[in-house]
Structures are given as structure tokens and as C-alpha cells.
Amino acid sequence: MTVFTDMWDFLTTGANWSGDGGIWALLVQQLLLTVTALAMAVVAGLPLALWLGHLGRGGFLAINISNIGRAIPTFALLALFVKADWPGTDSLGPYGRAGLATLLALTLFALPPIITNAYVAMREVPAEVREAARGMGMTGPQRFFRVELPLGLPLVMSGVRLALVQVWATATIAALVEGPGLGTIITDGFFRSNYGKGLAGALVVAVVALALELLAALAQRASDPTPKGGPSRQADPLSPAADTVDANADAVG
């Protein structure tokens, strides 16, 4: 198949990797966007979800926000943001209008898994543990920081991990609205009938996605306070049986 040799040629040509529109530059661009959006979503969503979970309120919204997020096509939201008068101007931010629209859309799509998992993590702390902490005379903040948060951390982290992979996927789709990132290579290859190039871009995106997932799994394992083989209810995050794609999983854009 000639497409594969084209792809190989594209990937092995050094000029395609360097320079302004090169693979490295786009890769860094997309990673930067992904990390920024994830950080924004964590700052915006995590404290609120943890607090609600601690209080046991607002569960309906916290659980259903994932369902709502799933029904909204990433592509549609990106397109609406890019073509809207708000937010921003054509020159705002390093990547222009599409860049800002992408960042906002990415942040919004990172919120549901983070919020839902954080809320569920707080609620799933066993009632007896909660009672025991209260019986020992712990105050609300003490219970939250010393008991509920450490016990819920693996599940909270799995939400962040889910969000990370999802944001990376969504950032790829930004190329459909002339946004920044590696997806540009794919769409460019396709719209110019240079399928080898499109395939090369797809391969790079997929490899980075898998690498991110693996890194996140390692980070999640490191965050688990219970020793291996201990009474942790959470399965080993590296094992495929872990809830990477649990019922709360959203479509990878």
C-alpha cells in the first residue's frame, strides 16, 4: 500500500519534524493546550466537587453533568465557540481566536469526569469510617483532609486521568475548526488528498495518547495511599480491569 510508504517517508523526513509547522512544534502546542485546559478544569471543578461530596449535596448535578457532557458533540461546541462573537478577538492569546475557543471547549469537556469522580470518591468513603472519625471528635475539615480525601484520592485521580486523555483527544479535533495542535497534520493531509501525511499525524496523535494514558496510570498508582495488596477497594490502576472506561467514561472526542 502506497499510503504506508508515504506515511513512512513523511515521518522519516527530518524537515517535517522541525520548524514552525513541524510535528514537534505542534506537539508542544497541543501538550501546552491540554495541560492548561486540564489545570483550569481542576482549579475550577475539583474543590467544588470535593466540597459537595463532603457535604453530600448536589449529587444529582454532579452525577448527571457527565451525561450532559456526553451528549454534546465536541466538534459542535468547538465550532460554535469559534464562530461566536464572544469570547475574545481575532488576535487574543498566542494561538488566536481558534486557540482561545479550543481552550475554553477543552476546559468544559474536562470538567464532567473530574466533577463526577471527585463527588463519587467522597461519597464512597465507607460510612463506618466516617462515623469513626466523627466519634473520635474530628471536626469537618479534619475529617475531610485526614480521612475522606486520602481514601478518595485514587478515584479522584482516575477522574483527572480520564479528563487528561479526553482533553488530548478533544484538542486533536480542534483542527477541524482550524485550531492549533497536531490534528492540523491530519486534516491538512486529508483536505489535500495527501493521505500519507494524514496517516502520519494520526499515528503520532495515537502514540502520544497511549503514552499519556500510561503516564497518568503510573501517577495514579503513585497517589494510592494504601499499600499494595492492602485493603484498597481500588483495583491496580495499571491493570486493564481498573475503571479507565467506567460507566462515567465520556466519549473520547
Binding mask 68-87 for other proteins (x = CB under 8 A): --xxxxxxxx-xx-xx----
Q: What ranges in the chain are assigned the alpha helix state H?
A: 2-12, 14-17, 23-55, 59-71, 74-83, 96-123, 127-135, 140-142, 149-173, 183-191, 195-223
Mention every residue, 6+ apart, whose C-beta is less than 8 A from residue 238.
217, 218, 221
Least distance in Å: CB of 168 to other proteins? Answer: 7
The position carrying cell 461566536 is 84
Does 218 interact with other proteins (rule: CB under 8 A)? no
DSSP 3-state assignment of 69? helix
Distance CA 29, CA 94 (A): 10
The one among 117, 172, 220, 234 contacting other proteins by CB under 8 A: 172
Q: In the bound complex, what is the minimum distance in angstroms from residue 112's beta carbon to other proteins? A: 12
Q: Contact with other proteins (CB under 8 A): which of 37, 110, 133, 205?
A: 205
CB 80, min distance to other proteins, A:
6
Which residue lies nearer to other proteins by CB, 67 or 89? 67
Nearer to other proteins, 132 or 235 (CB): 235
164 with 38: CB under 8 angstroms?
A: yes
7 vs 125, beta carbon nearer other proteins: 7
Distances (CA, A) of 34 to 6, 9, 56, 206, 237: 29, 28, 31, 15, 22
Q: Is 53 in the site for other proteins (CB under 8 A)?
A: no
Residues near other proteins (CB under 8 A) are 1, 3-4, 67, 70-77, 79-80, 82-83, 165, 168-170, 172-173, 175-178, 183, 186-187, 189-190, 195, 198-199, 201-203, 205-206, 209-210, 212-213, 239-241, 244-245, 247, 249-253
